[in-house]
Amino acid sequence: MTALFWIGRILFSMLFIASGLNHFTQRQAMTAYAEAKGLAAAGTLVPLTGLMLLAGGLSILFWTWVDVGAWLLALFLFTAAIRMHAFWKEEDPAVRQVEMAQFMKNVALAGASIVFYVLYQWPELAI
């Protein structure tokens, strides 16, 4: 169980650590994307969300402050799903489908973040 739990945490956290780093290394492109989606203060929010992603990913990976990290990830993911992937606003069917997939991915990952929170708070619930 321990090895599988480590593997799962590594695979899960890699996405957020890499994405958080991209918020800094690709800051200009990510800010332009956020602005194109109508996000106010994108220049401030891109590095802030990058920190949220890094902190959340590292907390899951190292199993430290998981309660805080899991909620940072869930908050980011739910907000990004609604704000950045509003598929219901898209008229082009292909774009709508892509945005819907991104929306659902973010919601599912937010759910997984909450599961990590539960496992951290109540390890006896692990099956």
Domain boundaries, the chain: 2-125
What residue type is assigned to position 82 of the chain? I
- Write the pLDDT tens digit of every residue in 85-97: 999 999 999 999 9
Q: Is the model's pLDDT at 127 over the cut of 80?
A: no
Q: Mean pLDDT for the chain?
A: 96
Asked whether 57 and 69 are in contact (CB, 8 A), the reply is yes
pLDDT, average across residues 5-26: 97
Q: Which two tokens stand for residue 60?
A: 């899951």
Q: What pLDDT does residue 124 have?
A: 83
Q: Which of 40, 28, 76 is nearest to 55 (CA)?
A: 76
| For residue 126, pLDDT beyond 80 | no
Please give the pLDDT value at position 121: 93
Q: Which of 17, 43, 48, 39 is nearest to 28 (CA)?
A: 43
Q: What is the pLDDT of residue 2?
A: 85
Angle at which helix 93-121 crosses helix 66-84, to 10 degrees, equals: 170
